[in-house]
Structure 1
């Protein structure tokens, strides 16, 4: 919350924010990092105004408590507290879809459909509200260069042919999906720190980060030591920014994650308890338990065979451990008619994932 822009604080006058902006003071953190004397020189106002400025910034960083009813009404604005995925059985189990105002993770092995899922949700978000969409723009943050504009158009045309029957309609839909590529952790973090302004300017109704693990695993080792501390701090900062944006604007944030192979020693280094039955190693979601606590809902994708895959609800405040079979087709992810099946879940940080035997573990 300390990164909140001063111009977003309604109680501050335009004159004060403009004077501060001229001196590169744009956020609450900038104000609270300066002394009273420095603020007096910058603003040109009296000490009482400086005290009031500090108070307003402090309140913005630590907002007052709200009731459960107020939170429900805030999240229930517009399309309701959930964003439908268009997978009906999954939406039913999740009480309506992906929760608004929270962070949802889609994890799984390479080629299992994580990006396909995100592209399908991107198309869904651009649809009118009466068709289960959010009638807004999408910010697709791509860290793996995996986004395909051709696939976006194919899914849109196959999923809703009546709304995307002409080239002009397809172009209008594609213009609502803003793709932003980032290849370093510092670049991604800088983007997230200024995301608030972009959400307002471009009327963003869905944020996707594909993937959250790619840059972290490339730049930070998972071994013990100072590198692990920097990695944990970066992930915590990243999660805090995403959760703040989701809650502040009551929009869904979707992140994808990769898999890893854990062994007893590796789990111990990450301060994680290794289940006895997995003592010889097991495949699970990457980034460890610390990260898993930062996501509100976790969906795990895994392989059943060459054609069929499965999505598991591994973590949710409202849904039980449930699994659905699906295939990937022209119009995105298509759920099988078999329906839902309850499975024996465990700690989402150590949930085993089935992969193809030909796939190398990462």
Structure 2
């Protein structure tokens, strides 16, 4: 039985009205996200408002010119929840991970840079910043000395060497020491441990905690653990770490080890270029975290490989080639000594001379 003509027309009208209302809602959202030219006074006002609540980084992003709820949600979902994370990230990465358009991303970055004042600075200002950099003790005074006082924040430090040279032991010790008060060589923060080889051992953390008279239960609670099962998972965990750093007061990120998965998955010369490009992007994700969070330290372990063309001297070199060499701020080569002794040599650092330190691996942890 056919419906009356009036009823059909009324339904069609209702459908049209719903379409019009839906279109208007979309148009309002687009208009809300349109960028408007801001005067210097308006930008200064936004900056003043941000300074009044520096802890609320998401609110600072929300106050960027032209950011509506839709844009804000996309940024937060992709991990760009602070002015720094937007300003320091290449446009292509923000676009790919958030789904925002080219022009929107460019204006977001420009506005963030203006608010943060990312321009030229005097060398004196850089020196004042460097004087206040915090460091995490390794547990060995001798090793701390060759590192300029310990593992510094705002940098990526790489420990490479053969098996049983103490790489994983140092990573465990740093996870404990970062929780110490600042006057005892810590940062009063938590650690994030990305384990690619399945070598993280809570019982070792317990031994090291007891060696420092710490409650091991509290120490274990303050270590956020992630097991990376392949290279893609490893990269993803680092990207997800950006959302945890401020939320959980993370002061140290550990990756043990950096290149193991990449070496096993990218086999043969045909995959070398792709592997190196992926590692390069991965390292820059870590370096970017150090820029965004200057009170964060990143420590990596790396494997070694033999150079068959070396007939004299040490044929061992760090795996990963020049990409890893350029991506690490400080590089430390570890080798075995007598008994429980290990030797650490600073082989590359922008502010440190080459130097060696002897340390021991005891049941209570790293020591002189």
Q: Shorter chain as normaliser: what TM range?
A: 0.7 to 0.9
**Following superposition of structure 1 onto structure 2, how do residues 135-214 of structure 1 map, counting pairs within 5 Å?**
135-158=188-211, 160-161=212-213, 164=214, 169-214=215-260
Q: Aligned partners of 1:321 and 1:207: how far apart in 2?
A: 25
Among candidates 215, 225, 234, match of residue 278 of structure 2: 234
Question: What 5-or-longer segments of structure 1 have no aligned partner?
Answer: 1-6, 40-49, 265-274, 336-362
Q: The residue matched to 1:198 in structure 2 has which SS?
A: coil
Match of 1:301 in 2: 334
> Structure 1 286/237 Cα, relative in aligned 2: closer, same or farther at 3 Å?
same
Segment of structure 1 superposing worse, 322-331 or 245-254: 322-331
TM-score when normalising by structure 2 = 0.71
| Aligned partner of 2:101 among 34, 59, 71 | 34
1:299–1:313 CA contact under 8 A, matched in 2: yes
**Aligned pair 1:248/2:292, yes or no?**
yes
Count of equivalent residues? 295
1:161-210 Cα distance to aligned partner (Å, 9 max, x none): 2xx2xxxx321121011111111111111222232211111110111111
Tell me the distance in 2 between the aligned counterparts of 1:129 and 1:326.
Answer: 22
The structure with the largest alpha-carbon Rg is 2
State the TM-score, normalizing by the size of structure 1. Answer: 0.72
* Structure 2 gap segments, 5+ residues each: 1-56, 81-85, 87-93
SS at match of 2:205: helix
**Structure 2 CA distance for aligned equivalents of residues 53 and 151 of structure 1:** 45
Match of 1:65 in 2: 120
Name 1:18's counterpart in structure 2. 69
1:350 corresponds to: none
1:1-362 to 2 correspondences below 5 Å: 8=58, 10=60, 12-13=62-63, 16-21=67-72, 26=78, 27=80, 29-30=94-95, 34=101, 53=108, 55-56=110-111, 63-74=118-129, 80-158=133-211, 160-161=212-213, 164=214, 169-221=215-267, 223-225=268-270, 227-250=271-294, 251-264=296-309, 277=312, 282-335=315-368
Q: Point out the structure with the larger helix share.
A: 2
C-alpha spacing 1:55/1:104, structure 2 compared with 1 (3 Å):
closer
Q: CA–CA distance in 2 between the matches of 1:35 and 1:287?
A: 33
What CA distance in whole angstroms lies between the structure 1 residues aligned with 2:73 and 2:100? 17
CA distance in 2, matches of 1:282, 1:322: 20
